[in-house]
Structure 1
Amino acid sequence: MFVRSILALSLSCIFAGTSFAANTHAEQPLNVSKANPPVIQDPIDPLAIDAPSASVPSTSTGEAIISPEEQKDLNQAANTLQNLENTEDSTADIGSAPASSVATTTTAEPTTTAPVKASWTLDGLNNATWYDNIGKGQFPVYARAHVMLNNAHASPGAIDGTSGKNTLKAISSFQQMNGLKPTGVLTQETWNALVAKQAGKPAFVEYTITEADLKGPYAKSIPGDYALQAKMPGLYFTRVTEMLGEKFHMDEDFLKKLNPKASFNKVGEKIIVTSIRNELPENITLIVAHKGAKQLYLFNAQNQMVGSFPATIGSSDTPSPTGTYKVTGVAPNPWYSYSPSNFVQGKNLKPLSLPPGPNGPVGNIWIGLSKKSFGIHGTPNPSTISKTASHGCIRLTNWDANDLGKKVKSGTTVKFLE
């Protein structure tokens, strides 16, 4: 039997396109065409979950009643994040090392600052090395850095080999977690620390497409009309490249660019993909949703930052709540229930139940909060995370939300910061 949590918030989400700037002095950029971003509606309504929510002590508004020790931890975490935000150089070229940068010798990785040519081949990606003044754009060195950041629990979101805000925030989080000055700049020191964490493992590998990959199940398309969605057996992936992108934490277009000759429809076909982790550290006791940074930060019982994700957190029209709440439960593959009493979608005047799937309105996982109608969830559009607005909830990529859902426990504190 399903327990239903009422959600009644709606907003049109406008996808932000990303432009790619080339650096002609070093690496070879990909030729990326810029498409006009689509506009979609993603209203969140009653959500059916397959497990009862835990009861946590809270006020009438859902704000959690926390202990003095929890408040102390919150204050310390808030100070940590405030210092991080003050230190971050949000205007910096991500790959430009400041004059004060100090190279370390934590690994055998070359420490030369001379530009090194790199290509978009498997060897080129795995051998891409840091050099001074990389510049903004899409380059193999960023692609390798994205994988290493992901594996160090500082998620850059959808891996696309591009410099940008999500890259800066991931670098800053990695620096904070590893005792480096959290500037967000990819310095030689930071690069060496990433390489050391990667411990000799390749960032990219060759993957062989299997029969199971092609079997699916897949949907021919996901219609916009909820009445049509409700008739589907599941809101599945619509193509193999979409599924593989999520499996390997990659932007779908980037996956295609790395494999321009691949058909993605033959068993035994070999393609280049990332070599990424799919687990988080244990003992997550505090989650901080930082609205200004558009970032989710994870802390352990020792109040150390152990992970971070780019996140879409509310909007000016439908802001996320303020205050402190608790996780009440985790629902994998939730049903999404539509009720016209909350809003009318198209010509649908009767309640509808939309089946589970990665292309559902809240992705394929729901982490409920003690604040009624709010939670942490996935999305069918991973490349838009932190670049668009949400309905007040915390939206992550499906893989980041699933990673978190596997480790977070009922009663975990969730704090919203401005």
Structure 2
Amino acid sequence: MPRRLPSAAVPAALLCLALLAAAPAPAGPLTPEAIEGATFSDAAPEGFSIAVLKAQILLDRAGFSPGAIDGVPGRNFRGALALFQRGAELDDSGTLDADTFAALAASSDEPVLATYEITRADTAGPFAPEIPEQLEDMARLKRLAYTGPRELLAERFHIDPRLLVLLNPGVSFDVPGARIVVPRVVRQTSAKVVRIAVEKPNRRLLAFDPDGKLVAAFPASIGSDDKPTPSGTYMVRRIARGPVWRYNPRFAFKEVRTNRPFNVAAGPNSPLGLVWIGLTAPSYGIHGTPVPEEVGTSDSHGCVRLTNWDAMALAAMVQKGTTVEFVE
């Protein structure tokens, strides 16, 4: 089936959709002009607001990832905001206030939105008509591709695909030449990361440069009580882009019916997403995920899951031997 609505995000997502659906066009709150001009007075403590949307884009651009941009002040947004506040020597409450909004606005002089023209390459595929739920069924596919241009573009611009649609009413994403409004999320950092801290209680991954400076932070899904994330300190063992996942029966996943090993093909909708950062802890790693909207709210099978775009950004900054510390 197509990418499912993440269960943990249902209330916020429905509220977001309801508010956006009620917005008048073209002068409603989702016009590019309104979003660019959003001020702290436009913020809402719950539900969707253009101020939170603007803040999320600025956080993402600064390397403090809020996960999938959705305009809702959820857990991932609050965690990213607290880290930005700490770096800016503000009260790290994780709550958007006037001083924090001003500091975010001052962090970049570029617009928060951009216009993008859909290309033939964006629409060429090949795409998967649907992605099976069961791992054994995934193993029958030659590639775990995107389900269509909308999903591809949503990941490229770090945005919840539902919000991408609402930002571009009436636009067909499978037509080359169509122009769409997207978050401007080009990150400036290309720092070398020598230490990673996975904060298990906070469900965040922090990346530090050789001087000990925090250069990037990403929301993360970690293991459950049944399949816990390891403890202790390890190192990056290898980095594999476009990984093929090998299921071993000793993993004993409850949802897998077979007792035989099998492979799941590569692709953005693979269980490993677009990249695998293997650790010296056997069978454990940091990797992407096919459902970025669930990152930070769902459990993993023990590995550390990031959005595909955050995993790719991290992979570009680390190397074999980078220290990875799991913080209890």
Task: State the TM-score, normalized to the length of structure 1.
Answer: 0.71
Q: How many angstroms apart in 1 are the aligned matches of 2:133 and 2:212?
A: 43
Q: Which residue of 2 aligns with 1:224?
A: 133
| Matched residue type, 2:86 | Q
| Residue 399 (structure 1) aligned with residue 309 (structure 2) | yes
Q: Which residue of 2 aligns with 1:325?
A: 234
Q: Which of residues 244, 259, 266 in structure 1 aligns to 2:153?
A: 244
How big is each residue's C-alpha offset from its partner over 1:274-302, in whole Å with a ceiling of 9 and x where there is no partner? 11025644121111111111111112222
| Matched residue type, 1:159 | I
| Residue 29 (structure 1) aligned with residue 19 (structure 2) | yes
Q: How much identity, in percent, do the aligned residues show? A: 37
Q: Which runs of 5+ in 1 are unaligned?
A: 1-13, 33-116
Q: Which residue of 2 aligns with 1:208?
A: 117
Native 8 Å contact 1:385 1:395 kept in 2: yes
Find the residue that maps to 1:19 and give its secondary structure.
helix
Find the residue that maps to 2:239 and give its secondary structure.
strand
Q: How many angstroms apart in 1 are the aligned matches of 2:286 and 2:165?
A: 29
| Matched residue type, 2:71 | G
| Matched residue type, 1:16 | A
Find the residue that maps to 2:207 and give its secondary structure.
strand
| Structure number having the greater helix percentage | 2
Q: Which of residues 158, 165, 182 in structure 2 aligns to 1:256?
A: 165
Listed as ranges, the matches of 1:12-411 within 5 Å are: 15-20=7-12, 29-31=19-21, 119-131=29-41, 134-199=44-109, 201-278=110-187, 280-340=189-249, 342-343=251-252, 348=258, 350-411=260-321
Q: Which runs of 5+ in 2 are unaligned?
A: 1-5
Q: RMSD of aligned C-alpha atoms?
A: 2.4
Tell me the CA shift for residue 377 of structure 1: 0.5
Tell me the CA shift for residue 327 of structure 1: 0.9
| Matched residue type, 2:171 | A
Native 8 Å contact 2:235 2:280 kept in 1: yes
Tell me the CA shift for residue 347 of structure 1: 5.5
Native 8 Å contact 2:53 2:69 kept in 1: yes
Tell me the CA shift for residue 351 of structure 1: 3.3
| Matched residue type, 1:135 | P
How big is each residue's C-alpha offset from its partner over 1:220-250, in whole Å with a ceiling of 9 and x where there is no partner? 1122344543342311001111111101000
Evaluate the alpha carbon distance shift between residue 346 and residue 377 of structure 1 in structure 2; reply closer, same or farther with a 3 A threshold.
Answer: closer
Q: Which residue of 2 aligns with 1:91?
A: none
| Matched residue type, 1:128 | A
| Matched residue type, 1:167 | F
Tell me the CA shift for residue 381 of structure 1: 0.3
Larger Rg, first or second structure (1 or 2): 1
Q: How many angstroms apart in 1 are the aligned matches of 2:295 and 2:47?
A: 19
| Matched residue type, 2:306 | L
| Higher RCO (CA-CA < 8 Å; seq separation 6+) | 1
